[in-house]
Amino acid sequence: MDTTTLLPGSVDELQATLAARGYIADRGLAVSMYLALRLKRPLFLEGEAGVGKTEVGKVLAAALDTELIRLQCYEGLDVSHAVYEWNYPRQLLEIRLLKASESLNRADATRHLFTHEFLIRRPLLRAIEGARARPPVLLIDEIDRADEEFEGYLLELLSDFQITIPELGTIRAEEPPVVIITSNRTREVHDALKRRCLYWWIEYPDFDKEYRIVTAKVPAAGARLAAQVTSFVQELRTLDLYKAAGLSETLDWAAALVALNREALDADVVEQTLGILLKNQEDIESVRGTRLPALLARALAHAAARSEPDAGPAPSNTVP
């Protein structure tokens, strides 16, 4: 089973593969991803909400043509939801059946009830178990939501990629999965875990990058609207808001404007749709009204200046 052939041969190649799938990664992130694949180390991604951290896992799985296994973290996440669980309703039923058929023998039954047949495999177990053509991508999403105890468990798992189930023995990964861990930094994740990983901080994208992403993901928006949308969001991020708009908000907004058949921004439509960009009442109020005209004027001027050199027709016929 030769798994290395599918790995990209260079950072450039990886960047091109990702771009072909609509993910615009800047050089630094691409280098980190490349090293994560080459050195077989987990990649720890941090950044504000909505900058495309989760997307990295998804696009990487698509690019490597392998399975994506996702573990969404939450407070109280424990082994029975992250690793494995015995299917006790089925076990109980099985006991009844054995009894009914009068073939219940304690030693045999115990052996019989704790087999693979009654095992529910959760994401972490699925990621290391079983024969696959290629190792899967394991996406551990929003680890900052899980509690510290879970980090400890993960630290152990990531060091030797094996899981011990008392009744079944130790299961070891033939080939470790590609691990992507994301965090929104709602708390500090322990340094020990981060040190085991490659670390990358994803910034909000700059104008050029965000513009490319908007045109790639919402092609129906057209060049002019895409530039205006991007400029406005970039202006919005310079304000001192509680929660700045992320990239995913930009994309939602662009799609919403397309749905409203808009080809350009004006004060009315911005005001009506501001709730797509800002999810906080204080923020919406502080932007709406007096600040909005100046903000919009700056954004439109910027967009006009940026789109002049290549003011070609918009690729409006493409399907998103």
Partner 1 sequence: MKDAALLPNLLVFARLVRAAGLRVHAGRMLDCITALEQVGLRRRADVHATLRTLLVHRQEDLARFDEAFELFWKAREAGDGRLPLFSLGERPRLKAAPPSAASVELDDIDAAGAAAARLTAGAYSPADISRTKDFADFTHDEAERAETLLADMAWRLGRRRSRRWSAARTGAIDLRPIVRRNMRHGGELLYLPRRRRVEKPRPLVVLCDVSGSMARYSRMVLQLVRGLARSSGRVESFLFATRLTRVTRQAGSRDLADVVTRLTHVVEDWGGGTRIGETLRAFNTHWARRVMRNGPVVLIVSDGWDRGEPDLVRREMARLRRRCHRVVWVNPLLGSANYEPLTRGLEAARPFVDEFLAANNLDTVEQLAGHLLKD
Specify the residue, 160 or 282, whose C-beta has the smaller distance to partner 1.
282
Backbone angles phi, psi at 305, to 5 degrees: -65, -35
Nearest CA to 143 among 84, 202, 82? 82
Answer yes or no: are the C-beta atoms of 23 and 57 closer than 8 Å: no
Residue closer to partner 1 (CB basis): 273 or 286: 286
E strand map for 113-185: 119-121, 137-141, 162-165, 169-172, 178-183
- CA pair distance 144, 197, nearest whole angstrom: 15
- Comparing CB distances to partner 1, the nearer of 58 and 194 is 194
* Cα distance between residue 51 and residue 248, in whole Å: 7
Of the candidates 297, 282, 290, 61, the residue with the CA atom closest to the CA atom of residue 180 = 61
Nearer to partner 1, 27 or 172 (CB): 27
In the complex, least distance from residue 209 CB atom to partner 1, rounded to whole angstroms: 14
Smallest gap from residue 110 Cβ to partner 1 (A): 5
Residues lying near partner 1 in the complex (CB under 8 A) are found at 10-11, 27-32, 34-35, 38-39, 44, 46, 74-76, 78, 80, 85-86, 88, 91-92, 95-96, 98-99, 104, 106, 109-110, 113-114, 147, 149, 184-188, 191, 194-195, 197-201, 240-243, 282
Q: How far is the CB of 206 from partner 1 (least distance, A)?
A: 15
Nearer to partner 1, 193 or 218 (CB): 193
Least distance in angstroms from the C-beta of 270 to partner 1: 23
CB of 185 to partner 1, least distance (A): 5
Residue 78 identity? D
